[in-house]
Structure 1
Amino acid sequence: MSGATSATMVRVAGRHARGHNRITPNAIRQTVEAVTARAFRVGRVNVTASLEDDAGKLGVSVSVKLTLAPLMEPRNGTDTVFELAQQARTEIVSRGAELTGLEIGRVDIRLTGGNHEQPKERRVA
């Protein structure tokens, strides 16, 4: 994926200056990862993203590592994990577009699980 570019006119010292703003694919990927982490309420290190062209839009694939503990505990609401993923997808599209200025098309979400975390006092070194 090539870097996104947009021409801009900036007013500098009473005159207009032409220039370009460049957002690297790596910066876009990290932004998508941060937005995804926020949507799923997980740490940024638990999210990886890849980007591709989706018919002129930004195609996004994210993988989110969820611990099993939150998945196994009783839920306060009635949302299933699939409904939560759909809500996160909506947030990724809207917030991602707001921050990057790019139109986001397809968003694929893969939820992965880790081991059930033991309380600290029960962990064996």
Structure 2
Amino acid sequence: MPRYAGACHCGAVRFEVEADPAEMTTCDCSLCVKRNALMIKVPQAALRLLAGGDQLATYVWNTGVARHHFCARCGIYTFHRKRAAPDAFGVNVFCLEGFDPAALPVRRTDGAGMSLQENVQ
């Protein structure tokens, strides 16, 4: 199974992904649209944080299930715990060394259509 080294822009957050994804995804929720991410879905056990846990900031909103992680130093989105699949991560393919985004198809996901919950922070 392929193994990819991953990092934010400044290198403070480093991680490793062992996965052989069949596709990449985009999402049309308000957050993903603004960050313009292209992601692969990996099981929780396939992502290993190597360094920078103290530099990893987390953004949580609405239901609180999805947890979006980014480097507090350079601001790059690295990966997130998925709301629709809490046992998996969405990983920013542009943080992965040697990953060829042109080699996989892209599937659009409907994040905007997911229910929003009122009065949830």
TM-score scaled by structure 2?
A: 0.25
| Larger RCO (alpha carbons 8 Å, 6+ apart) | 2
TM-score scaled by structure 1?
A: 0.25
Higher-Rg member (1/2): 1
Please state which structure has a larger fraction of its residues in helix.
1
